[in-house]
Amino acid sequence: MNISEDELEQRLRALFADERLDLPPPPGAGTVIVAGARRRRRRRHAVLAAAGVTAAVVAVSGGLTVIRLHAEDGTAVMSADGTESSVKPPENLTAGRAPETSAPEPASTQSIQVSAPPDSPTSIPRRPSATQKPSTLPAVSSGPLLAADGFGKLKLGMSEAEVTAQAVALSDPEAGASCTVYKAQGSGLPASASVVISKAVGLVVVTPDVVAHTAEGIGAGATKDQVLAAYPTAKAETGGVVAPASAAAQYHFKLGETGVVQTSLMSVDQDCAG
């Protein structure tokens, strides 16, 4: 069955006019609609205010910073906060060509001569030998000198007659099998001494009554280390140290608690007891 357009329109109008199709609004719908309208109005005002602030910032920034490019001579001019500065490119800058860099000039070389300060030593001082121990006390020069060949005018090897001829008196003899011990004193001696004279080889031992010193600075109070330092080939013996005085004689140093307490000169070749 065909229905005309007018009839269809009338039926639709009658259908829409039916009260059963109406949707009644819920209670309080008016209040909700008014609140929604107010929210939309506030949002619109906020958007407009933000847009105004953004426009103001852009306007201020545009007024503070102005960049002008001049293509006439390749100079770029930038002004900010009312100040201007110009930057000009290098003269040798051309299109398609890298800027030329000037090579640094070679540094001039100069010959430098280093001389030692005038006060600096030219040679390194030699250290003492490790085998030679330094003495702990200064050299001793007190007392008479007991030389390597004798004492005063007495010389090793003199006979009894030669000794008395030197203004030396011999007394208190103590005779042995081949040697005699005497007390010697007189102007020929710097101090009295005990001497031993061999019948075969003459004067072989001289022991001053006071502690004499040697030419090497060993005398009263000298320590064992000092003796060994002055005479590197010296050797220890009972009660002291024996050291070479010469090729024909030896020094015998008697040691006590205070160091050297007696010094004797003795011939190497002799027939008397030491």
pTM of the model: 0.51
Q: Do residue 81 and residue 171 come from a single domain?
A: no
Mean pLDDT of all residues in 190-213: 95
Residue 229 has pLDDT above 90, yes or no: yes
The Cα 33–Cα 187 span in angstroms is: 153
Asked if residue 262 belongs to a domain, the reply is yes
Residue 211 pLDDT class (50, 70, 90 cuts)? very high
Asked if residue 140 belongs to a domain, the reply is no
Residue 103 has pLDDT above 50, yes or no: yes
The first and second tokens of residue 207, run together, are 């022991």
Asked if residue 244 belongs to a domain, the reply is yes
pLDDT of residue 187: 95
Quote the radius of gyration of the chain (alpha carbons, Å).
Answer: 65
pLDDT of residue 142: 81
Number of domains in the chain: 2
pLDDT of residue 236: 93
Residue 42 domain boundaries: 29-85
pLDDT of residue 162: 95
Q: Do residue 52 and residue 158 come from a single domain?
A: no
- Average pLDDT over the chain, rounded to an integer: 77
